[in-house]
Structure 1
């Protein structure tokens, strides 16, 4: 499994942001308000929380297994691999989604926030960007937790996946 690269995620974020900014300008030229759903930052924050919870759980279980604590539960290698794939997929989706909301938010900030609906939309967009960044950070942390040390394979180190 290939490791996530921050450059790819930043590129997706920027490309989506530029396209969204241009689309928001075009949309605004027709006289309608660009809309950011209130659920967007909530959903992204929930995904980030799930990824972070899995990462912290795996980290503590793997640490207990390494220290050979009595009754330590290991991590099933296939479950760890699936978790890493879920994290990577989440990050690859969250980066452009956060970019879209970032582009819309940038447009709203530059077009003026005198109207309460525009101000609310800008806040939702900003929170969505922060929540998207949290998804990316949690996914990269999960990937790091599940990564095997160099030179080991899955047979020598149960409970971890190669990332």
Structure 2
């Protein structure tokens, strides 16, 4: 599995922002601009908290295993892989959704009657921040579950064993 790169997520965010901005401008020309659901930042923040809790749990368990602590719980490799896949999927969707809310928020900020759209613009901004939290937690989870590089050596400075 290839690691997810921040550059890819930023690209998705920027493209989604541009498309959402253009779509919202078009939609606003029809006088039917959609609202921003109040649950959007809450759901994204909840996903970020779940990913963060998973990362903290896996990190402490991996640290206990490395230090050979008595009674250390083993980390199931398949469970760790599933956590990474969940984090990567969440980061990709969050980058897309955050871009949509950023584009919509930009349009709301530029409307002449901003005072009537202040709540929706604030909700869109909070959704973008919560989406950034999801991306950060997902990338940290991915970093925690990364396998150490072997580099083709079986020990410190030792030559590879012949087979």
Give TM-score scaled by structure 1 length: 0.89
Larger Rg: 2
Residue 141 of structure 2 corresponds to residue 142 of structure 1: yes
- Taking structure 1 as reference, are residues 120 and 67 closer, same or farther at Cα in structure 2, changes over 3 Å only? same
Matched with 1:161 is none
Does residue 102 (structure 1) correspond to residue 102 (structure 2)? The answer is yes
Q: CA deviation at 1:113?
A: 5.3
**Shift in Å at residue 145 of structure 1?**
0.4
Distance, in Å, in 1 between the alignment partners of 2:32 and 2:115 is 13
CA displacement at 1:34 relative to structure 2: 2.8
Check the 8 A contact 1:113/1:119 in 2, yes or no: no
Deviation, structure 1 residue 31: 1.2
Partner of 1:158: none
Shift of 1:19: 0.6
Indicate conservation of the 8 Å contact 2:4/2:139, yes or no: yes
Equivalent residue for 1:71? 71
Take 1:121 and 1:39, find their aligned partners in 2: how far apart are those partners?
12
Counterpart for residue 130 of structure 1: 129
Distance 2:24 2:104 in 1: 6
Coordinate RMSD, CA, aligned:
1.2
Q: Report the CA distance between 1:58 and its aligned residue.
A: 0.3
In structure 2, the partner of 1:12 is: 12
Per the normalisation by structure 2, the TM-score is 0.89
Aligned 1:31-70 pairs, distance under 5 A: 31-70=31-70
Structure 1 residue runs of 4+, over 4 Å off?
none
Instruction: Tell me the alpha carbon deviations over residues 103-154 of structure 1, each in whole angstroms, 9 at most, x when there is no partner.
Output: 00011111245433x10110110000001100000000000000011118xx
Q: State how 1:82-121 maps to structure 2 within 5 Å.
A: 82-112=82-112, 114-116=114-116, 118-121=117-120
* Contact preservation (8 Å) 2:108, 2:114: no
Q: 1:111 to 1:125 in 2, by over 3 A?
A: same
